[in-house]
Amino acid sequence: MFGQKKTYECFSQDTLWSMNDKIYTQDKGEAWSKVPMLYTVNCKVANYYANCIAQLMKAHPNTKAQILELGCGLGAFSYYLHYFLKKLNVDFHITLSDMSDTSLEYLKLLPQWQDLSVDWLAIDVRKDVDLSSIGEGPLFVICNYFADSMPFIGLKKDASGWHHATVRVDECDKFNQENISDFKIDVNFNTFDIEKMPRIVQELLPLYDDFDGNLNIPTVMIDFFDRIKKQRPLVYGMFNDKGFSKVDENSYDEHFDFNVDGAIHYMVNFEAINHWVDLQEGCHAICSSKGYSHLNFIALGDFPSHQKTIMDSLMVGFHWRDNFDMIMESTDFLNDNTDHFNQLMGFCDYCPGVFFKLSNAFLKFAKENPGEHKKLLVLCHKIIDKLYWHPLFECDVFVIIEILIILKDSDTALKLLKAYQPFINSQYLLNLHFGVLYFSLKQFDESKKRLNLALNFNKKCPNAKKYLDLMA
């Protein structure tokens, strides 16, 4: 064990995080295929953020909100945020960032971005960042499940004093997304000279004089905000992430609570971030759901003093994760009637991700209840209105096509399928759905052509044969 990497390194060093880099820079967003998307990217939080930005911007009249999402991933969260900000008539501009130029170049080609005015910026927050390309106005930095995968400094406090945590990774060069669940680390603790620690650590440790246990200092995130506040007169940070609002001796285990769900993550120490904000004479507000899912806002620079009150008030009662989990765990009733679908989809602001999770139940209900089709189509169009499709989840487009055919809205289905056609990998499924669509539109020659193409890719396809027999 640990044969390839025998030496211990600080948790902030490259060896550990280069594994994450390798995963997150895969072509076409492959890393996100195993991430729990309903929690990391959903309309509920995007709508909430949009309303918060609208409220905070009231203190900055006649200016444009500049929004920067760090680590935009598949781009869905920024797309939803853009949708809700437009609904609220907020004057804004969004810049999506990622550390991979290749990922951004792919994202910007997707059809949903073609009519939107957004910018794209390659950023690695661990390095110097130039934000001069972003226009004037308050800068809102969106950290949506981003901080939990950034390097940190690990520490331990016991009766003998402070110790520096160092780590070695088992077979680190062999890990990829397929075997990342085998990820193992070995942690060692050494006494250290505080004066050799980064300035951020030296500033924050006195606040933990009475602390005992393991401690994580998110130095990369704090250092990033320290650098950008020198470039911008006003910065708001908006975090949605797992972590701790208050760290105690039981918060971090000996391995600093690392978790693997397609990549490597940990619990963010929001207490340390907020302590640092206080030292900068900034302000912060935080709320939590389930004790570990946090929304944390910070403000740095030239902000009106009453923004602290506004930020605190925005946090009251927004325990979205508790209610979200409760409803998602109670989906057995969804076969009963259309109102149940509307209740759930209304709560999650008609989030496409939730809809696709429930699509089998929705499809079954639609087939068995033709009298409900009019109501179901209204609901379906609320989903399509903000539909964000990424080729990584290719089958989602076919699900929505099948539902629209059943609800007798083949025109919308054809429009969607034509828009996404260049990005669809499965020519079998593409031609099969085109064939069924053209059949529903009574364009039988085109239908036969497509269905025969589908049979070329899958000679045993029963659906293609069924529709061809109907046209014989």
Distance (Å, whole) CA 11 – CA 4: 17
Q: Is 411 helix (H, G, I), strand (E, B) or coil?
A: helix
Tokens describing residue 182: 């085998």
Per-residue confidence (pLDDT) for residue 223, from 0 to 100: 97
Which CATH architecture describes the domain 14-150+196-318?
Answer: 3-Layer(aba) Sandwich (3.40)
Sign (positive or negative) of CA dihedral 193, 196, 200, 202: positive
pLDDT tens, position by position, 128-148:
999 999 999 999 999 999 999
pTM reported for the whole predicted model: 0.94
The ranges of the chain annotated as CATH 1.25.40 are 324-470
Q: Which amino acid is at 437?
A: L
Residue 208 has, within 13 A of its CA and on its CB side, a CA count of 27
Domain with CATH 3.40.50.150 in the chain: 14-150+196-318
- CATH level 2 (architecture), domain 324-470: Alpha Horseshoe (1.25)
Q: Give the C-alpha separation, 296 to 237, whole Å.
A: 8
203 closest CA partner among 150, 277, 256: 277
CA distance 207 to 191: 19
The DSSP result for 233-295, as a single string, is: SEEEEEEEEEEESS--TTTS-TTTT-EESSSEE--EEHHHHHHHHHHTT-EEEEEEETTTEEE
Q: What is the pLDDT along the chain (472 residues), one digit of tens a residue?
A: 545 556 888 998 877 888 888 888 877 777 777 776 667 788 989 999 999 999 999 999 999 999 999 999 999 999 999 999 999 999 999 999 999 898 899 999 999 999 999 999 999 999 999 999 999 999 999 999 999 999 999 999 999 999 999 998 877 667 777 777 788 888 999 988 888 899 999 999 999 999 999 999 999 999 999 999 999 999 999 999 999 999 999 999 998 988 887 788 899 999 999 999 999 999 999 998 777 889 999 999 999 999 999 999 999 888 777 666 766 665 555 556 788 888 888 888 999 988 998 888 889 889 999 999 999 999 999 999 999 999 989 999 999 999 999 999 999 999 999 999 999 999 999 999 999 999 999 999 999 999 999 999 999 999 999 999 999 8
